[in-house]
Amino acid sequence: MKAETRDDLFDDYYDLSKVIKYHVVMGIYKAADLLDVMFLKTMEGQRLIIRSSASEELTGEKLEDGGVVHVIDKVLVPHFMIL
């Protein structure tokens, strides 16, 4: 994402909120749960296609509140947004 586009996004709370919510899904999914291609509903309301290249031995990083974090390789932007 270009610096100018990022700066514009940070100035618009509504769009920034949509992009952030597009990165979060409800529930706990460990790496082994995501080995097959699947669809998950994001907090933003859109379906997100999950494709995992993880092996069964890998697990997400656990947080103190019991959440799981998975690494993604880019900023996800909802399909209806043009950035």
What is the tens place of the pLDDT at every residue in 64-82? Answer: 555 677 777 777 877 777 6
Q: Establish how many alpha carbons lie within 13 A of residue 11's alpha carbon, considering only the half-sphere containing its beta carbon.
A: 7
Is residue 41 assigned to a domain?
yes
| Parallel/antiparallel/unpaired status of strands 47-50 and 61-62 | unpaired
Structural domain that includes position 27: 3-69
Q: Assess if residue 77 is contained within a domain.
A: no
Note whether residue 80 is domain-resident: no
pLDDT score, position 61: 53
**Would you state the pLDDT for residue 41?**
92
- For the segment 9-62, what is each residue's pLDDT rounded down to a tens digit? 778 788 888 888 988 988 888 777 777 768 889 999 998 888 766 554 545 555
Q: How many domains does the chain have?
A: 1
68 vs 1: which has the higher pLDDT: 68
